[in-house]
């Protein structure tokens, strides 16, 4: 028996496939168990990813925290170091003293307290210019190069150079004393402050009130607020302590005219010769000896006779003559 095979056209193939698909019906969906399994797998994966992200974040934050903690620990463990102190300021230097004086150094820094005893007077040169002398039983605090506090006793300041444009300021219990290129004394007397001006000008400032005093003047500031002013001679013997406190004039090998210039300045004296010829001839006389520890009046009485001269003293003046062989004066 012979079978016949018929060839199918492309259209017949499409119709055949369509009939088969219709006969099969719609594609079956996954059962509920399978869907649940898939959801569980996806959920576990999602939770795992969250865990990994959270762990990475914790490690980062924890690392920063540990670093900060280490820094704090390092700061706590390192030894404390005090701040670098400011460079000490030299304000004065020791020059001389008439007796024992307790000093750690002859170079004096800001903050140094100077104190003299019952028998000692002393002189210091200030770095910013001028000379400071202290009487017996005096205490002074050096605040800075141009400022100090008088705590007890008396001081004398000689500006030396009138070109110095920075005044010395002295703190006292009753106000500030400010110099204007001069020589003056400031003394604490009980609760009062006494300012004596030898030359130049000094200002006494008490709050908004300011008093000035010129050469030959004394200001007496009282605790009750009153300020009294009166004349005070530049040659008064009350200045004698300043000579003993200062460095003594070196007589040995010095000329007479140099000695007389010192006596005039330190004693506040006008010195005159009987005539110009006598002054000229005696000016270069070389001196010998010492006047250490003597006042100006005492020094004149010691030195002039060794030069064959005599002198007469009157208020603020010394008159020098040569003895007359007949017993008078020339």
* pLDDT tens digits, one per residue of 309-330: 999 999 999 999 997 555 444 5
Within 13 A of 184's CA, how many CA atoms are on the CB side?
30
Helix segments in the chain, DSSP class H? 10-24, 32-77, 240-245, 256-267, 276-282, 296-306
Strand-pair partners of 183: 158, 199
Q: Of 27-31, 208-212, 266-270, 285-289, give the lowest mean pLDDT range.
A: 27-31
pLDDT at residue 203 in the model: 94
Domain ranges in the chain are 40-81, 90-239, 248-321
- Fold type of domain 90-239: Jelly Rolls (2.60.120)
Q: Report the pLDDT averaged over residues 184-192.
A: 95
The tens digit of pLDDT for each residue in 99-129 reads 999 998 999 999 999 999 999 999 999 998 9
Model pLDDT for residues 134-175, shown as the tens digit of each residue: 999 999 999 998 999 999 999 999 987 766 668 899 999 999
How far apart CA 132 and CA 240 sit, in angstroms, is 15
Mean pLDDT of 243-247: 94
Among 224, 147, 213, which residue's Cα sits nearest to residue 185?
Answer: 213
List b or e across 272-285, with b for residues whose CB sees 16 or more CB atoms inside 10 angstroms. Answer: ebeeeeebeebeeb
Model confidence pLDDT, tens digit, residues 17-29: 566 556 555 554 4
Q: Which residue has the higher pLDDT, 312 or 71?
A: 312
Distance CA 125, CA 190 (A): 28
Task: Give the pLDDT confidence score for residue 68 in this predicted structure.
Answer: 47
- Specify the pLDDT at position 66: 43
Query: What whole-number distance in Å separates Cα of residue 109 and Cα of residue 106?
Result: 10
Average pLDDT over residues 50-78: 48
Answer whether 251's CB lies under 8 Å from 303's CB.
Answer: yes
Mean pLDDT of the chain: 82
If 0-12 CB within 10 Å is exposed, 13-18 middle and 19+ buried, where does residue 262 land? buried
Question: What pLDDT shows up at residue 206?
Answer: 87
Band the pLDDT of 188: cuts 50, 70, 90. Answer: very high
Mean pLDDT of 8-35: 54
Tell me the pTM.
0.71
Which residues neighbour 131 within 8 Å (Cβ) at sequence distance 6 or greater? 95, 123, 124, 125, 157, 158, 160, 246
How far is Cα 162 from Cα 179, in angstroms, rounded to an integer?
11
Taking every pair of C-alpha atoms in the chain, what is the biggest distance, in angstroms? 201
CATH says 248-321 is which class? alpha beta
Residue 259: exposure state from Cβ atoms within 10 A (0-12, 13-18, ≥19): buried
Compute how many other C-beta atoms are within 10 angstroms of the C-beta atom of residue 316: 14
pLDDT at position 17, please? 56
pLDDT at residue 304, rounded to an integer: 97
C-beta atoms surrounding 117 within 10 Å:
13
Q: Given this model, what pLDDT does residue 58 score?
A: 46
Q: How many CA atoms lie within 13 A of 288 on its CB side?
A: 1
Residue 209 pLDDT class (50, 70, 90 cuts): confident
pLDDT, residue 207, reads: 82
pLDDT in the model for residue 74 = 37
Q: Phi and psi dihedrals of 199, rounded to 5?
A: -155, 165
Asked if 114 contacts 122 with a C-beta cutoff of 8 angstroms, the reply is yes
Same fold flag, 90-239 and 248-321: no
> How long a stretch of residues is the chain?
330
> How many C-beta atoms surround the C-beta of residue 257 within 10 A?
15
- 238 pLDDT higher than 60: yes
Handedness of CA 11, 16, 19, 24 (dihedral sign): negative
- 246-253: average pLDDT: 94
């Amino acid at each position: 028996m012979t079978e016949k095979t018929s060839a199918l056209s492309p259209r017949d193939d499409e119709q055949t496939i369509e009939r088969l698909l219709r006969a099969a019906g719609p594609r079956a969906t996954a059962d509920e168990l399978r869907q649940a399994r898939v959801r569980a797998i996806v959920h576990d994966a999602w939770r795992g990813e969250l865990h990994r992200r959270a762990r990475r974040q914790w490690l980062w934050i924890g690392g920063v925290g540990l670093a900060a903690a280490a820094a704090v620990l390092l700061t706590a463990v390192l030894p404390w170091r005090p701040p670098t102190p400011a460079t000490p300021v030299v304000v004065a230097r020791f020059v001389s003293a008439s007796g024992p004086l307790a000093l750690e150094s002859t170079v004096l820094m800001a903050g140094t307290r100077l104190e003299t005893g019952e028998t000692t007077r002393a002189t210091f040169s200030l770095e910013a210019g001028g000379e400071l002398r202290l009487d017996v039983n005096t205490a002074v605090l050096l605040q800075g190069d141009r400022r100090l506090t008088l705590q007890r006793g008396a001081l004398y300041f000689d500006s030396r150079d009138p070109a110095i444009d920075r005044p010395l300021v002295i703190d006292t219990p009753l106000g500030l004393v400010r110099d204007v290129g001069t020589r003056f004394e400031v003394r604490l007397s009980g609760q009062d402050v006494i300012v004596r001006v030898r030359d130049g000008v000094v200002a006494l400032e008490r709050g908004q009130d300011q008093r000035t005093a010129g050469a030959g003047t004394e200001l007496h500031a009282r605790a009750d607020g009153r300020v009294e002013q009166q004349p005070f001679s530049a040659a008064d013997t009350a200045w004698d302590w300043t000579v003993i406190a200062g460095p003594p004039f070196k007589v040995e090998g010095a000329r007479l005219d140099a000695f007389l210039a010192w006596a005039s300045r330190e004693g506040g004296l006008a010195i005159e010769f009987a005539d110009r010829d006598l002054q000229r001839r005696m000016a270069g006389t070389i001196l010998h000896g010492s006047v250490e520890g003597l006042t100006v009046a005492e020094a004149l009485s010691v030195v002039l006779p060794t030069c064959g001269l005599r002198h007469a003293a009157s208020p603020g003046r010394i008159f020098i003559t040569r003895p007359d062989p007949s017993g008078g004066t020339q």
